[in-house]
Amino acid sequence: MGFSTDCIHAGQEPDETTGAVSVPIYQTSTYVQPELGRHKGYEYARTKNPTRSALEANLAALERGKHAHCFASGMSAIDTVFRLLESGDHVVAGENMYGGSFRLFHRVLEKYGLTFSYVNTACVDAVRNAMTDSTRIVFLETPTNPMMTVTDLAACAAVAHERGALVVVDNTFCSPYLQRPIEHGADIVVHSTTKFLNGHSDSVGGVVVSNSDEIAEQIGFLQNAVGAILSPFDSFLVLRGVKTLAVRMKAHEENGVAMANYLANHGKVKKVYYPGLRDHPQHELAKRQMDGFGALISFELGSYENAKTFLDRVRLCSLGESLGGVETLISHPESMTHASVPIETRKRLGITPGLVRISVGIEDIEDLIADLENAFDGE
């Protein structure tokens, strides 16, 4: 089926008992078993819940994978993937990624004996050179948060697979509408469903998708054993959000391109980071690998004072962490999403005091630009 059809129908057969067209919220913790040793496929709701199962089937289909498991947050989804590893295992990860992922790796997982090398994954040789005999995972985010660097997924997958490592891709920034990493060789895809998948800034969740029965079995075991599951109500919200993923992403994309062009031509903006701009260093790769350029844009205003004045003046755009909602969200990566990244790394990557990140929503673009115009010029 086509992508839009899958958004609406994959995993979402009408309810067997009533014919309800929307998957019901099965708000139950357990299921009555008709006799000892016999049940209807559901024993206890940490292990399995029909609302969550419907969402998992839906997201697996959208990512062109076979299996999905939904979690209480994007971070718990990522954490569960790393529980596939053992003390002494090594990970190659992007030097620029969501600050919370770096915090999990550096402050939590290192305590359990995992080691990490952080490299610029836009350079395939850097990934190759960082691989060791102990490397079990290559963890990629593309485009990166917030510098919008694009990584060649197929090339990195070839390097990782040569050494027997798994490729894990955080596809939160794109959603499967814009990029499906499994088609480029990824073994596991993770998302914060909090962002574009849910799309309405009213649920926190995560998902792990894979194409391998063996990986899925291990993730399913960990999901049940560790227990950070997505609730039935949140599963319902994400299912509801995903029904409009294709139409929302189309609108996000249109507004994203228009906003990037507006910012690139503004005299007070020193630099714009957006893979859709022709001067972006990986523009050609983005054109090949993605089905659009998305709605995340970072731009440099030159100083903390400039960024603060600008951010204090926006009205329609909401100042806040997160991204991917229908409403435009604007943030200051240095002090917000990436505060946990060491200052030297932030400096090296370009996460400066003057950097602003915008997640362009689906409002009328004229209103968004008028809001930014006022923020640049207002008193």
Ligand X SMILES: Cc1ncc(COP(=O)(O)O)c(C=O)c1O
Residues 98, 105, 236, 273: which binds ligand X (CB under 6 A)? 98
Is residue 46 flagged as an active site residue? yes
The yes or no reply on residue 170 touching ligand X (CB under 6 A) is yes
Question: Catalytic: which of 31, 42, 46, 240?
Answer: 46
Neighbours of 157 (CB within 10 A): 22
Interacting span for ligand X (CB under 6 A) from 168-176, 226-234, 279-287, 362-370: 168-176
Q: Smaller CB distance to ligand X: residue 171 or 352? A: 171
Interacting span for ligand X (CB under 6 A) from 169-177, 222-230, 311-319, 344-352: 169-177
Question: Catalytic: which of 170, 187, 234, 371?
Answer: 170
The yes or no reply on residue 100 touching ligand X (CB under 6 A) is yes
Residues 12, 51, 53, 194: which binds ligand X (CB under 6 A)? 194
Minimum distance between the CB of residue 206 and ligand X, rounded to whole angstroms? 5
Output the CA angle 72-161-217, nearest 5 degrees.
40
Strand-pair partners of 300: 271, 355
Minimum distance between the CB of residue 249 and ligand X, rounded to whole angstroms? 16
Q: In the chain, what is the greatest distance between 2 CA atoms, to the nearest angstrom? A: 73
Strand-pair partners of 166: 137
Question: Catalytic: which of 26, 98, 177, 273?
Answer: 98
Q: Smaller CB distance to ligand X: residue 98 or 310? A: 98
Q: Smaller CB distance to ligand X: residue 272 or 323? A: 323
Is residue 170 flagged as an active site residue? yes
Q: Smaller CB distance to ligand X: residue 141 or 152? A: 141
Q: Residues 35-44, buried b or exposed e (16+ Cβ, 10 A)?
A: eeeeeeebee
Minimum distance between the CB of residue 170 and ligand X, rounded to whole angstroms? 5
The yes or no reply on residue 172 touching ligand X (CB under 6 A) is yes
**The pair of three-digit structure tokens given for residue 330, joined into one six-digit string:** 């604007």
Residues 49, 121, 135, 145: which binds ligand X (CB under 6 A)? 145
How far is Cα 336 from Cα 350, in angstroms, rounded to an integer?
15
Binding site for ligand X (CB under 6 A): 73-75, 98, 100-101, 141, 145, 170, 172-173, 192, 194, 204, 206, 322
**Residues carrying an active site annotation:** 46, 98, 170, 195
